[in-house]
Amino acid sequence: MSERLRRPRRACVLLVALALGLLAPGCAGGDSSGEESHGGAADLPGPVPAEVAFRAPPDDATPAPDFSANLVDGTPVTASELWDDRPVVLMFTASWCERCADVHRRVAEVVGEREGVALLGIVPADDAQGAREYAEELGLGYPIAVGDERVWLSFAVREPPTVVLVAPEGKVLRGWPGGVETPVLAERLDELFQKR
């Protein structure tokens, strides 16, 4: 039985504030660690490697609704720039969703094994603070954006976890409400690679 009380969270905030207060005098105004936050700009993918080529999406695939959002560190990101020349896996998730982290981890493993594929986590707009903690805890090395309601509605996402596969050029290939089995996602992604 899990007990959810607000007090521990407040206590945690107080402890963090206290710790920051104690550390602040020693920082002397400098950038303390230089560490980038997880899920932010540092986790955006680089260019698609030259040796990787993807197939064109099927003509009858549904165009993916483009959207812009900020990553957890405030960096703006535009979805169509990500999926212009590569497959993108959208992982609709939330910090309060207990099984989302596990799904997110498994999706990240599959994506990580396939060069050139991007993964973008999307949390609800009212979960921005939780999203930063979620990104830190997961530390996946992939960006996480805070998506407003329009983003969720445009992909018909009713509940996290939901995984959506977008082909290069921005065509929706498949959505998996509730998550996706690793081999299934792997197979769908492998179909997108141009054989050489």
Partner 1 sequence: MTRARPAAASLAGAALLGLAGCGGGGEDAVEARLRLVVPDNNIRVEGVECAGARPFDYLRPGASFTLEAPDGTVLADGELPAGRAENADPSIDWNVERIPTVCVMELELDLPERRSYRLRLPEGRPLAFDRSDLAGDEPLMLLVQ
- Which region holds residue 33: left if phi is over 0, alpha if psi is between -120 and 50, else beta? alpha
For partner 1, which stretch binds (CB under 8 A), given 54-62, 85-93, 94-102, 114-122? 94-102
Neighbouring CB atoms inside 10 A of 191's CB total 11
Q: Under DSSP, is residue 121 helix (H, G, I), strand (E, B) or coil?
A: strand
- Pick from 151, 168, 173: nearest CA to 80: 168
- The CB-of-144 to partner 1 minimum distance in angstroms stands at 18
106 to 165, contacts with partner 1 by CB under 8 A? 124, 152-153, 158-160
Q: How far apart are alpha carbons 129 and 75 in whole angstroms?
A: 15
137: which 2 tokens? 């805890």
- The CB-of-177 to partner 1 minimum distance in angstroms stands at 6
Residue in 17, 56, 99, 137 binding partner 1, rule: CB under 8 A: 99
- The CB-of-1 to partner 1 minimum distance in angstroms stands at 5
Q: Does 6 bind partner 1 (CB under 8 A)?
A: yes
Residue in 14, 23, 178, 191 binding partner 1, rule: CB under 8 A: 178
- How many binding residues for partner 1 (CB under 8 A)? 20
Q: Does 50 bind partner 1 (CB under 8 A)?
A: no
Residue in 2, 26, 31, 195 binding partner 1, rule: CB under 8 A: 2
- Give buried/exposed letters for 8-40 (b at 16+ CB in 10 A, else e): eeeeeeeeeeeeeeeeeeeeeeeeeeeeebbbb
Measured at the alpha carbon of residue 178, what is the angle toward residues 174 and 184, in degrees to the nearest 5?
Answer: 50
Q: Does 4 bind partner 1 (CB under 8 A)?
A: yes
Q: Could you list the residues that contact partner 1 (CB under 8 A)? A: 1-7, 94, 96-99, 124, 152-153, 158-160, 177-178
